[in-house]
Chain A
Amino acid sequence: MQKRVTFKSAWLPYVLVAPQIIITLIFFIWPASQALFQSMLVEDAFGLSSEFVWFENFEELFTDPLYGESVWTTVVFSVSTTFLALSSGLLLAVAANRVIRGATFYKSALLWPYAVAPAVAGVLWLFMFSPANGIIALALDAMGYKWNHVLDGEQAMLLVVLAAAWKQIAYNFLFFLAGLQMIPKSLIEAAAIDGAGPVKRFWTIVFPLLSPTTFFLLVVNVVYAFFDTFGIIHAVTSGGPAGATNILVYKVFNDGFVGLDLGGSAAQSVILMIIVISLTVVQFRYLERRVQY
């Protein structure tokens, strides 16, 4: 944790950590404590006075059917996005790991969507599925399937899931490929000599050995789906139609910034905070175990 050889100074270390600590206190700790405090307040319509109500905001939230819907929407969205992004990333990594000729080219070609902003990825997919002139929407029309995500909630959800997963494939691909390359060749060869086919080898040797990578990516992808996809939702559907894509992060923003419901929005922030903290704890406990593995 620390060096044997250290420098001595009564003031220098404080000066060195000061910029980081001051910014953290002003822009992180203070607002977060404000959110905690506000989550227990109710303001009147003009914002002139406020009353301390303990956990009333939370009670209201948990009995609000709209919040329940938003939780369900978030679960559907995160599970679908994570599953789609993880399975496609794994499939491509397994394929790229088998290839000998052109491996570097494939790798570079699959990597770069990571650099595309979620909101921009959303706009690209929005254009392809635009009901009047989108190439996929018109193709679906021609096949007799009416596409209009502006009216159909399920189609809107499918659209944001596709855009969100598309952007994340590159990341999962990279980490799965690194994981696959660490698996000793001798294990695979031994299994092949014993007569196990490629499919059996994958499920009984490769996949179990990849489990640390898979678990790590699972956490990262859930965090991504929960928080980083705000741009996609905001740009593509604005939570609509009729709340069909209103995930928790978008709801916090919308209730607080557009609806100006301070207490309710703060209570939602606190719940999100608890989610982030638990995900971080899971990630770090797992990392400790990976060191031993």
Chain B
Amino acid sequence: MVENRPFLTFLTHAVIILGLLIIVFPIYVAFVASTHATEDLVTTVQPWFGDQLVENYRTVLTAGKINAGGVPVGMMMWNSLVMAVGIVVGKIAISLLSAFAIVYFRFPLRMTCFWVIFLTLMLPVEVRILPTYKVVVDLGLLNTYTGLILPLIASATATFLFRQFFLTVPDELAEAARVDGAGPMRFFLTILLPLSRTNIAALAVILFIYGWNQYLWPLLITTETNMTTIVMGIQRMLYVADSIPEWNLTMTTAILAMLPPVIVVLVLQRQFVKGLVETEK
């Protein structure tokens, strides 16, 4: 602080507290709703917590919302988890390998490979919805975990991140490894991989959130209800014809949908911030 201005300090705290309230308020409202019985929410607003918390969460996790198909949310969360972890592991694995090849080898087509990978940046799912869907159908991957995960693991950002990092690794390490008779894979596994630990951790946090929060892709690829992920499954709970909207159950699902990624961000905050800043370089 440059000078002491009590009014400005007051204003600063006021702005932050107001900001915090705006950030937290929607979550508070949702959490309160998830602790009430359906009838208490039809035409009234509940300002404080009810006593149906355990009941609602148990219903949603084990049975789901009956009049919206009754898919247990526990199963949806399992699908989301498999998808998110699959994307984390797959993306990191293939990006590490291709970055290693591009940095540590000279081969014809090296630049071609580099540009092909670069192109993925410019082709998000949204711009090629139908043809990609057709490819997945032709390969028989509808309603499979492979179909959910595989098309999303190609990644230019992760490859560039590792390439950038490999370029900062001292040449002497590779030289020493070679003198000692280590082949390229030995060098990769015993030297490069341990050195990349912090980068991998940071990227894993970002990718877990990315994978868990996927919406459009699971919407296209899963037609069977037992394969739905929680983030897209919640949409099917919103519009149910001819019945009272069970907002308590929908909000319970919303809380459950954001819990895992929010916990990851709060617990692994350092890695999260590092990953966020580095993937955007």
**A32 in complex: contacting residue of B8, B30, B131, B174, CB < 8 Å:** B131
Question: B53 — which chain A residues lie within 8 A by C-beta?
Answer: none
Q: Are B16 and A92 in contact (CB under 8 A)?
A: yes
Question: B97 — which chain A residues lie within 8 A by C-beta?
Answer: 16-17, 19-20
Task: Judge if A241 is at the interface, Cβ distance under 8 Å.
Answer: no
Q: Are A280 and B122 in contact (CB under 8 A)?
A: yes
**Stretch of B59-67, B68-76, B195-203, B251-259 with 4 or more beta carbons under 8 angstroms from chain A:** B251-259
Question: A272 — which chain B residues lie within 8 A by C-beta?
Answer: 126-127
In the complex, what distance in Å separates the CA atom of A5 from the CA atom of B173? 9
Task: Judge if B225 is at the interface, Cβ distance under 8 Å.
Answer: no
Question: B107 — which chain A residues lie within 8 A by C-beta?
Answer: 10, 13-14
Question: A92 — which chain B residues lie within 8 A by C-beta?
Answer: 15-16, 19
Secondary structure of the A side of the interface? helix
Task: Judge if A222 is at the interface, Cβ distance under 8 Å.
Answer: no
How many residues on the B side are at the interface (Cβ–Cβ under 8 A)? 105
Task: Judge if B273 is at the interface, Cβ distance under 8 Å.
Answer: yes
Q: Are A27 and B130 in contact (CB under 8 A)?
A: no
- Convert B125-158 into 0s and 1s, putting 1 for each residue whose CB lies closer than 8 angstroms to a CB of A: 0111111111100000000000000110110000
Residues of A within 8 A of B (CB): 1-10, 12-14, 16-17, 19-21, 23-32, 34-35, 38, 88, 91-92, 95-96, 98-100, 106, 108-121, 123-128, 130, 132-135, 138, 166, 169-171, 174-175, 178, 185, 188-189, 192, 198, 201, 216, 220, 227, 230-231, 234-235, 249, 252-253, 256-257, 262, 265-266, 269-270, 272-273, 276-277, 280, 287
Could you name 11 residue pairs across A and B whose Cβ atoms are closer than 8 Å? A3-B171, A13-B101, A13-B107, A20-B97, A31-B128, A32-B127, A34-B128, A35-B130, A166-B22, A253-B216, A265-B130
Residues of B within 8 A of A (CB): 1-3, 5, 8-9, 12-13, 15-16, 19-20, 22-27, 29-30, 33, 41-45, 93-95, 97-98, 100-107, 109-110, 113, 116-117, 119-124, 126-135, 150-151, 153-154, 159, 166-167, 171, 174-175, 178, 183-185, 187, 209, 212-213, 215-216, 219-220, 231-232, 234-235, 238, 247, 250-251, 254, 257-258, 261-262, 264-266, 269, 272-273, 276-277, 280-281
Other A-B pairs beyond A14-B107, A114-B276, A174-B277, 4, CB < 8 Å: A171-B276, A174-B273, A257-B129, A273-B123
